[in-house]
Structure 1
Amino acid sequence: MASQKEILRRRAGRVRRSLKAVANGRPRLSVHRSSKNIYAQVIDDAAGRTLAAASTLEASLRSSLKTGADVAAAQAVGKLVAERAKEAGVNEVIFDRGAFIYHGRVKALADSAREGGLSF
């Protein structure tokens, strides 16, 4: 029987494989959520480098948020990663939710990234 970690790794692999098939060279907005924080990166898979990143661990967000594990924190991270991606010249991305369902904090991050100017 596979462990929970192995199950999540397989699910994330399935999602990522299907995204790469339809990406058409667009960078991906990858999201990771833990029980205490949320992280987002805009990754260029062709070059193998991160173009923009944001998380609730950053000092600027940490001081303004009550906790790093709620919808408000996810919205703040989404706006910040969208701003940084725009500065890096990225307008279109493909959303990589990883092994997480598109609900709650993950959905809030995606919606605020859209409001910040990223299209996906």
Structure 2
Amino acid sequence: MNLLIQVTDSSFGIEVLKSDKIVLVNFWAPWCGPCRMISPIIEELCNDYNDKIKIAKINTDENPKIASEYGIRSIPTLMVFKHGQRVDTVIGAVPKSTLISTLDKYI
């Protein structure tokens, strides 16, 4: 079963860039209202996609290096990585259907 994993500046390379699975990365912060709104949707995706993809969260306040490296200016920002490359980006608290259609393009 796929679990929602927490990644940091130091674990991002191994957990995301070197993953053999597609990875959905949720850039968020605890004070962000829209981030809290989308959190249950992200958890539902964990169940919906089981072992098909990996889902990761990165707190941009605690991990500014990766957020800066990927030009995160607004949160939540969700990025899809495949074979270590960013292949898609979704910004904002979007409906679950938007995330599903985004992910399904890469599975």
TM bucket (normalised to shorter chain) is under 0.3
TM-score normalised according to structure 1 size: 0.26
Q: Which has the higher helix share?
A: 1
TM-score normalised according to structure 2 size: 0.28
